[in-house]
Structure 1
């Protein structure tokens, strides 16, 4: 399994420093994220149907709602990644230029060559993570905001964002929107794709086709996204038993939840809980 080295949750989202040793199944997040390679071998990371290089000379940019994956390949040196998962509501409050960060086409390209300013921002975050004293929330927020601002300076978002809603494509079907918003409001997402199809009033085939067209992912992947989001939030609450989290999310056993978690994160929820810090 992969080895989490540092994980911080805050109003900004999540910062994860991890040594990779495990594949990650196709999954998505509601946050856009930025991935830097800190050490080890160069790797390829999948976004949609293509794989892109993750090297010391570039940052990988993954949009919110954009399916992505990692196929682990044995290398002499394990890769260490720094991943910034950025809360779109926080970004919007920080700067109006960041207002559409929740859109699945926000980043204009998946790889950004590092500039001296981006390298400095990455190194400053690493310095904050490796100090004995934890960074203050204000310091971490300022570091992340400066990285995000530099990336948008280098790769401005597409013009279509001025005309789009917070989520989805321009042709977002109203029936799908209602189902999505209902699911997003659930504390513990346990519905199945079939449940969602019934609630939409569409046939199963129509629902699956429109859902993928509107959101860029099949219903099962969307449900997994919400389960993972809820699971991460609860795993960070040390007074909540992992078995209770599993049952609340619709898993029959804690073992099934652990397998699901490992498939998405590359390591077990018990490891995540041991490392995570909440600001």
Structure 2
């Protein structure tokens, strides 16, 4: 069963060390998302309409809101993956242009060759998370070094992506904007897409077409992103029961929430909460 081995969270977003032996459903994240192999079998992800390899010498690069899934093959050995979910605002503190890491074309390729420095920093961060789970400052320092190496190698960060100019001038249909605000206000209250389409004054087909044209993802994927990000916060930081969390997010049965979380985050919520709590413990103080 796939599990989170360690989790680090902070102003940078989050970093998960995942032991993966099962597929993940098609999903997206509002982050700059990088996947790096730590050890185990070579594997692969579906990014957009392409299958791309994750190996010792390749990284998978996923732009914010870009749909993707983990394509683990049956009977394939497990892979330990360092999954980075990085906030563009944090990256902007290094260089202003790096705020563009939230753009849909910050990475122009979904897979690229790593460097010895990236492989070394990946291993160092993974080892620090395992051996010093409470070392938040050290984790952030190593992550900063890793992200600098990643962006300088993989992104044309010196120029503002053309899509930002297009996005600045784009006008989202007001009916879609209203639907987005409804979803953001309470994703757990959204029972089905038909009701949102009708409330928006659109047919289901029109709603799906306009939504994806405006935001680059389907309404269902967008809603699931909102639910997952709230679930991550509730599971990591909160003490509420998973039954309560599932009800708040609109799941009628707690088992459905657990399956949703596992299929999107790569770990059961119980394991995710346990490793999140390790981050608040500095084992050096216990010696």
How far did 1:74 drift?
3.5
Deviations 1:44-72 (A, max 9, x none): 11111211000000111111101111132
Gaps of 5+ in 2: 281-287
Question: How many corresponding residue pairs?
Answer: 275
Distance 2:181 2:105 in 1: 19
Runs ≥4 in structure 1, deviation > 4 angstroms? 169-172
How far did 1:41 drift?
0.9
Kept in 2: contact 1:129–1:135 (CA 8 A):
yes
Distance 2:233 2:34 in 1: 20
Gaps of 5+ in 1: none
Considering fraction of residues, name the structure with more helix: 2
How far did 1:224 drift?
1.0
Q: TM-score, normalised by structure 1?
A: 0.89
How far did 1:228 drift?
0.8
Instruction: Name the counterpart of 1:129.
Output: 129
Instruction: Name the counterpart of 2:285.
Output: none
Distance 1:148 1:116 in 2: 14
2:71 is the alignment partner of 1:71: yes
Kept in 2: contact 1:48–1:67 (CA 8 A):
yes
Instruction: Name the counterpart of 2:141.
Output: 142
Q: TM-score, normalised by structure 2?
A: 0.86
Alpha-carbon RMSD:
2.3
Q: Structure 1's 268 and 36: CA in aligned 2 closer, same or farther, altered over 3 A? A: same
How far did 1:160 drift?
0.6
| Counterparts of residues 1-279 of structure 1 (less than 5 Å) | 1-75=1-75, 77-132=77-132, 134-137=134-137, 139-154=138-153, 155-157=155-157, 159-165=161-167, 170=170, 172-184=172-184, 186=185, 188-191=187-190, 192-277=192-277
SS of the residue corresponding to residue 252 of structure 1 reads coil
Kept in 1: contact 2:65–2:216 (CA 8 A):
yes
Q: Structure 1's 198 and 92: CA in aligned 2 closer, same or farther, altered over 3 A? A: farther
How far did 1:98 drift?
1.3
Q: Structure 1's 65 and 76: CA in aligned 2 closer, same or farther, altered over 3 A? A: closer
Distance 1:239 1:90 in 2: 27
